[in-house]
A = this chain, B = another copy of it.
């Protein structure tokens, strides 16, 4: 079984490497680590054989391979023992054929990858299953890990807490006091995480969680996105999209971008397929940012010269980030994919989500950003009528009821609700109803 292998590698020094079960987050020079696979070993199986293996496991019952992530275990994290995998059947989410919305927009072949139809309602499950499984492996090897921690106001803490709960590993969530409603936090609370509400802002929470976890004696493992294990799970989204299109590569994949780990992960999975011969061309990747939090868009418009910014409030709260952790590697990746960065105003993202909803989708605001970018690229003629386009939807719309209520009640900031659909009040009278329905 362990013919396959992977390790942490420093991006700045090819000789610096660590086992995936080491508690290490940065290279000696302070850069991010990256999980590197033994590609020679992976090449001993040919492309057709990999496809057949992945198909044979797809959504089946043989533990842990029925999971969309663990069905590709050799490519994701071969060093975790099967019995240490903490899985809730992540991945394998519907690639929704947005037939009506595509027709409205003038593209014939439009798909939305619904990553939010999952256990915790967002794509974060894909990465968290890997991180928590590696921690379970560490514990089984006798490492003194007592808990896993993150600073997060949303999807990351929900996923961490759920997987920790399933595994019986304690979790700790740091968040700024008064800035987060109980509704936003109810997932980690329900999953029994220790939720610490600090008298600080988000950056202050991040500083403290880094300090606490930096002490090797703390026994607290850091789950924030500077931990590169999560990328390994997240990269399966691109592989799945191709697999669900019967191994055909789409022309475009559009993904919303904030901290940019997910954009990097999407590219990483596709490159791995390319390197191992499962695909022979690459799609173009579009990273879509909220105009109110657009440092990557600004870089793209300035020949990739990047400057951090102060992000402003956006309904797409999970990507409201002014200085993304993964910006460097995301830029390198986008260049590889002939990538484009596009932005969406609050008006554009809200309208795009509302229009998609009317055709059967149920878009979160981040997906709204990606759909708004799609609309702009079609209008500019960059995306052609016959192109096959996949939009990555990062969370279930059910996680963003407030956004949708505010839109349809016309109270969303910076937005005129052009597609609002308010209820109509009527007396309890059949004839009045018949008249209202024009019968």
Name A's B-contacting residues (CB within 8 A): 58-61, 88-89, 92, 94-96, 99-100, 114, 117-121, 147, 162-163, 165-168, 172, 174-175, 177, 182-183, 185-187, 189-200, 204-205, 208, 211-212, 215, 217-220, 244-246, 354, 357-360, 362, 396-399, 401-402, 404-405, 408-409, 421-430, 433-434, 436-437, 439
A408–B189 touching, CB < 8 Å? yes
Q: Which of these, B99, B186, B199, contacts A405 with CB under 8 Å?
A: B186
Please report the C-alpha to C-alpha distance between residue A215 and residue B430 in the assembled complex, in whole angstroms.
11
Closest 3 CB pairs of A and B: A166-B360, A200-B428, A89-B94
Contact A360 to B439, CB < 8 A, known contacts A186-B401, A190-B397, A398-B398? no
Which residues of B sit under 8 angstroms from A423, Cβ to Cβ?
A: 175, 182, 185, 189, 195-197
Report A52 CB to chain B, min CB distance, Å.
Answer: 14
> 21 A–B contact pairs at CB < 8 A?
A61-B245, A89-B94, A89-B95, A100-B166, A100-B168, A162-B362, A166-B359, A186-B401, A187-B362, A189-B404, A189-B408, A189-B422, A190-B404, A191-B360, A194-B424, A197-B426, A199-B427, A212-B430, A218-B434, A219-B439, A401-B401
Which residues of B sit under 8 angstroms from A217, Cβ to Cβ?
A: 439
Q: Which residue of B lies closest to A419 (CB)?
A: B192
Contact A177 to B425, CB < 8 A, known contacts A196-B433, A212-B433, A396-B398? yes
A424–B114 touching, CB < 8 Å? no
Report A129 CB to chain B, min CB distance, Å.
Answer: 12
Please report the C-alpha to C-alpha distance between residue A426 and residue B360 in the assembled complex, in whole angstroms.
44
Report A283 CB to chain B, min CB distance, Å.
Answer: 18
A contact patch SS: mixed
A421–B189 touching, CB < 8 Å? yes
Please report the C-alpha to C-alpha distance between residue A205 and residue B99 in the assembled complex, in whole angstroms.
33
Q: Which of these, B190, B200, B215, contacts A354 with CB under 8 Å?
A: B190
Which residues of B sit under 8 angstroms from A191, Cβ to Cβ?
A: 357-358, 360, 362
12 A-B pairs besides A196-B423, A398-B398 with CB distance below 8 A are A89-B96, A114-B119, A185-B423, A189-B421, A191-B362, A195-B422, A195-B423, A198-B425, A198-B433, A199-B428, A208-B428, A212-B434
B424–A197 touching, CB < 8 Å? yes
Q: Which residue, A120, A172, A217, A246, has most C-beta atoms of chain B within 10 A?
A: A120
Which residues of B sit under 8 angstroms from A437, Cβ to Cβ?
A: 147, 172, 194, 212, 220
Which residues of B sit under 8 angstroms from A121, Cβ to Cβ?
A: 396, 398
Which residues of B sit under 8 angstroms from A88, Cβ to Cβ?
A: 94, 96, 360
Which residues of B sit under 8 angstroms from A424, Cβ to Cβ?
A: 194-197
Which residues of B sit under 8 angstroms from A95, Cβ to Cβ?
A: 89
Contact A425 to B199, CB < 8 A, known contacts A89-B94, A119-B94, A398-B396? yes
Q: Which residue of B lies closest to A164 (CB)?
A: B360
Please report the C-alpha to C-alpha distance between residue A56 and residue B77 in the assembled complex, in whole angstroms.
28
Q: Which residue of B lies closest to A425 (CB)?
A: B197
A198–B434 touching, CB < 8 Å? no
Q: Which of these, B177, B211, B354, B362, contacts A430 with CB under 8 Å?
A: B211
Q: Which residue, A95, A165, A194, has most C-beta atoms of chain B within 10 A?
A: A165
Report A405 CB to chain B, min CB distance, Å.
Answer: 5
A163–B362 touching, CB < 8 Å? no
Which residues of B sit under 8 angstroms from A219, Cβ to Cβ?
A: 439
Q: Which residue of B lies closest to A355 (CB)?
A: B192
Contact A192 to B357, CB < 8 A, known contacts A186-B401, A396-B121? yes
Q: Which residue of B lies closest to A186 (CB)?
A: B404
Q: Which residue, A61, A177, A190, A398, has most C-beta atoms of chain B within 10 A?
A: A190
Please report the C-alpha to C-alpha distance between residue A360 and residue B121 in the assembled complex, in whole angstroms.
13
Please report the C-alpha to C-alpha distance between residue A114 and residue B246 in the assembled complex, in whole angstroms.
27
Please report the C-alpha to C-alpha distance between residue A428 and residue B174 in the assembled complex, in whole angstroms.
10
Which residues of B sit under 8 angstroms from A398, Cβ to Cβ?
A: 121, 396, 398-399
Please report the C-alpha to C-alpha distance between residue A335 and residue B258 in the assembled complex, in whole angstroms.
55
